[in-house]
Amino acid sequence: METITPSAVREGRIRIHAPRIERVRLTIPAREALEAGGSTVTEVAAQPHRLYYDVDLVRPPAGIRRVLIGQWPEQHRGLRMADELPYPGEWPDDVIAWYERGELAPCPHAGCGLALVWYEAGYVPGYRVCLAGHHAQLASDGRSARAVDSYDE
Ligand SMILES: [Zn+2]
């Protein structure tokens, strides 16, 4: 299997699909910020009083947060902007695991900022590649990532 590199992606030898964040609630500002960055937002379930969405994440917007809302059996995940009010019943920020929070960390390579995809096999927990093939390592809190040598750039 070929190692993922920026040149392999650019030349079409490897194609990396946008990571999907499934079945989340969204605020209107979060949806607008996601779509402005090229992400696809799809309505997946409609109940009389609640909508859920799948997000195919291309470029995580600055200031977006993943949150946990409510109690079982009505517990679910949501995305909102950091400067919005919490959802009713939203849990404190520290209940979100570092690897979930890391799904919204942008690629740290200069001028990139694309979504990161899991790439831990043979590496270490938190190892990721972005949609352009750059390599990155999530911080232990998942709030950011640092660039790792991408072999051919
Ligand atoms: Zn990148």
pLDDT at 46: 66
Q: For residues 29-37, give the mean pLDDT.
A: 98
Calpha distance 58→90 (Å, rounded): 26
Cβ contacts of residue 22 below 8 Å, gap of 6+?
Answer: 44, 54
Task: Give the whole-number percent of the chain exceeding pLDDT 70.
Answer: 97
Calpha distance 81→28 (Å, rounded): 9
Cβ contacts of residue 66 below 8 Å, gap of 6+?
Answer: 21, 24, 77, 78, 79, 96, 100, 101, 103, 104
Q: What is the per-residue pLDDT across 85-126, written as a single tens digit (0 to 9) for each? A: 999 999 998 999 999 999 999 999 999 999 999 998 777 899
pLDDT exceeds cutoff 70 at 11: yes
User: How far, in Å, from the CA of 113 to the mean position of ligand 1?
Assistant: 6
129: Cα separation from own chain's centroid: 12
Calpha distance 136→108 (Å, rounded): 7
Q: How far is CA 12 from CA 7, 40, 116, 127, in A?
A: 8, 22, 18, 22
Task: Give the whole-number percent of the chain exceeding pLDDT 90.
Answer: 81
Ion ligand 1 nearby residues (CB, 5 A): 107, 109, 112, 114, 130, 132, 134
Q: For residues 23-36, give the mean pLDDT.
A: 97
Relative to beta strand 76-81, strand 50-56 is: unpaired
Helices (H), 21-126: 28-36, 98-101
User: How far, in Å, from the CA of 62 to the mean position of ligand 1?
Assistant: 15
- Residue 68 identity: L
pLDDT exceeds cutoff 70 at 148: yes
User: How far, in Å, from the CA of 73 to the mean position of ligand 1?
Assistant: 38
User: How far, in Å, from the CA of 79 to the mean position of ligand 1?
Assistant: 22
Cβ contacts of residue 9 below 8 Å, gap of 6+?
Answer: 15, 16, 131, 132, 133
| Predicted structure pTM score | 0.90
Confidence label for 153 from pLDDT (cuts 50, 70 and 90): low
pLDDT at 48: 67
Confidence label for 127 from pLDDT (cuts 50, 70 and 90): very high
